[in-house]
Every structure is written in C-alpha cells, then in structure tokens.
Amino acid sequence: MNDFAYDLVVLGAGSGGLATAKRAASYGASVAIVEQGRVGGTCVIRGCVPKKLMVYAAEFAHLVNDATAYGWSFGSASHDWLRLVESRDRAVAALESTHERLLAASRVELVRGRGCLRGAHEVDVDGRVLTARYVLVATGGRPCLPPIEGAQHAMTSDGVFELRRRPDQLAIVGGGYIACEFAGIFAAMGSRVHLLMRGDLPLRGFDGDLRRELDSALRASGIDVRPRTVVREIRPSAAGVVLELDAADGRARLAADQCLLYAIGRRPNTEGLGLEQIGVELDSQGHVVCGEDAVTAVPNVFAVGDVTGRAALTPVAIQAGRLLADRIFGGKTAVMSYRNVPTAVFTDPPIGSVGLTEEEALDNYGADGIRVYKARFRPMLHSLTGRDSFTLVKLVVKGDDERVLGCHLIGKDAPEIVQGFAVAVKMGATKRDFDDTVGIHPSSAEELVTLR
C-alpha cells in the first residue's frame, strides 16, 4: 500500500472546500487545505456575505421613507458610504478569522500558496509536494469581462467591494442575479442605475411570472432597464466611460459617468491546476466534469462547488462536500441530490424559489398535466405607505394528486418563507397538504396555503 502524507488534500478554502475538509477531519482523516488567497472564498470574502450586508444597508433607505407613514419623523437623513464599507470589511475579516480558527480546531492544516496537481496523488504547492490518498478540487470560479474593445475600463463584482465612494451614476451589464441585486442596492442608495440586458427580461431560468414582476419592480424603483441591448465598445471619457450600444431600436450611446460594472457570468478556476495532464476531464467552459457523486475521470480526484458548473450556490457546495467526506471517511452512502434545490435572489423585492418553473413543468408534463395557482397582492406593510411594491406567490402542481412541483415567491421576506416550504416540496407534498395547513395571519406566507 502506498504511504501518503495526507488522507485528503483540498484545493481551495472556499465554502465547499472548508466544509469537506472539516467533515473529513471529524472522522479522523489527516487533511490539508491549500489556498493562495483569503480563507472563505467567494461567498465570504467577495460574494454572498458582503453583498447581503449591502442589501441590508439599502433596505434602510426604504424603511426610513416607509416609517413616516406610520407616524415616525426624522431629521435630515444622510448616508456615510465609507462607514458602511469599513464596517462591512471588518465583519468579513472577522468571519475569515473564524474560519481559520475552525480549521485549526479541526486539525486541518492550512497550506498557503497555489496548488497544482503533478500526479494523481501529488499536489505541488509552490515547490512543496503534498501526497494524498484523495484530492478534492474546490477552487470555485471568478467573474469575467467580455472580449470587446475597452473592457479594461470596466469592473466585475469583485471591484464593487473596493469602491471607496458610491458612484452617482452606474451602468450595469447583465441580467442575472448579481446584476439585478447590485442594481437594486445602488438605486436604493441614491445612484442613477442603467441596467443593460441581452434578453427581454431579467433572471433567465427563473419562473416567467417572477421575471416579469421583477422587471416591473426594477423599473418602478427608477432603474433605467434596457432589454435587448449589447455593448459593442467601451471608451474612456473625462467623466468615466462611454458605451457604444446595439439596442433593440438601433445603435445608441450611453455615458456611464464614473462606473461600469459587468455581471455577465463566471469562469471556473481550473487553469494551471494540472487537471487535464493527469486525466481529469474539463468541459468546453473549463468546468470539471464529474457525476453527482463528485467523482471525476480520475477515481481518487473529486470536485465540488462552482468549479463543476452545477448549481453554483454556496449551500450546494457545502452539502456536496460534506456528503463526499461522509462517503469516503464515514462509511455512509448518501449522494448529493440536485433536484428541488431552493434558491434566493436578494433583489428589491427579493425572490425565493424551489422546484420546477411553470415553463419547465410544461416542457416535462404538458399543459394537461399541470395546474398553476397564484396570487398577487400588496403586502400589509404597504397598506399605509402606498408604495408600489407587490408580492406574487405561485404553486405549480402535477397530476390528479396535485403534487407540488414548484413553489415561487417574489416579495418581502420571500427567501425566509420559501426556505420552509422547500422542505415540503422536497418531501413530495401535495396541494391538499398545503390546503390542510392552517395559515399564520396576517402574513404573506399564509397566501401559499390559501391559494384557490
């Protein structure tokens, strides 16, 4: 039998890598985790966590205005952007330190540097060779810029967290969740936002009713939404940049003073890792090809998280990694299921979704095989404020027993609401089960158990 220095070497100390390393170590495995950047990965350092803190900051802008309808009065309100940035960065640094302490407490060795596979069981970290019985690739992904002239004048989502002042005007290119979330954040904070999308509606892949509702909400918040628009060229100007556009109604020009953000997708961090050289297969986009069991073409090399291109969500990477460690070191058999994975988009208003969209259900079962229940209403909060912010709840069901295929909600507290209902969908609940459940009144969530 070969002698290895470690039972497991993990490449990447993001959410998936950290979860796998700690779970493996809990079974007594000797584990090293390799990271050349900050511990915590995209989610902790430049993604979910700092972005959600900015979402909270933006929500206060609405709360200040809404409070007046409830009898509150305030002096002149102002916002200190730099104070927000410094507070946010301290919180992120504290969370990073916590992850480092948890690694040490779990007896996982943190190896600083860039790792590269030199063989099926060998990882070279800046000249130091680590040998391992198993290797996990959990290197995540990174945002990208388009191959067009002037792209160097734009920033990606990583750059947002480096802004030391709020831009008065901001152009955002993209229609996915990152683009829409930042559009809502900056608009609420007082920036003039232009949102440029290739498609007709934001959030491709989400349920059509949610997409249309969000499109209306973005426009109602004052965002300049431009569908069917492609940037051809970016040129610097005295005030910022000028965008040459191919728009739905012909060519156009947009002056984006001070700031241009591209949020058009992410690329996997697989370059220079030596994966293909040892037989690990990559797809055309550079993602590691593996099954739902995380096994690659090299039996002892595994992959989880965004680097696989499968359900790029932090909780998915964590779950897949922990289950992998359970199988390898804990003698368990459970494999990650990618069906009915709930997700949220922290737009204004936010979205929560689990299961099949109406469009997916129609493709799978036909118009005669499904039924849709939905309701749209102004939430109780705005019965006094009068603000044009609406909630839409929707169930997609199948067959005579009306098993719930999808549960979708856009409106205040949608992510918190859908997290609970995701359990019911995962368990195979029917519309009758929803109907038999007593609602909590008054709440938006009760609408999901009273749909007719």
Q: Take residue 31 and report the two structure tokens written for it.
A: 């584990």
Exposure string over 147-172, b if 16+ CB within 10 A, otherwise e: eeebeebbbbbeebbebeebbebbbb
Separation between Cα atoms, residue 407 and residue 415, nearest integer Å: 11
Distance, CA of 302 to CA of 284 (rounded, Å): 19
Active-site entry in 62, 287, 408, 441: 441
Contacts 24+ apart (CB under 8 A), 358-365: 358/207, 358/208, 358/209, 358/394, 358/396, 358/406, 359/207, 359/208, 360/406, 361/396, 361/398, 361/405, 361/406, 365/398, 365/399
C-alpha pair distances (Å), 133 with each of 21, 29, 301, 334, 382 = 14, 10, 9, 21, 58
Amino acid identity of residue 407, one-letter, is C
DSSP state of 29: -
- What is the Cα Rg of the chain in Å? 24
- How far lies 393's CA from each of 95, 351, 421, in Å? 35, 10, 12
Write out the H or E segment, with its range, that includes residue 58.
helix 48-68
CB 212 within 8 A of CB 190: no
Locate 404 and state its tokens. Answer: 């719930």
Active site residue 441: yes
List, by residue number, the catalytic residues: 441
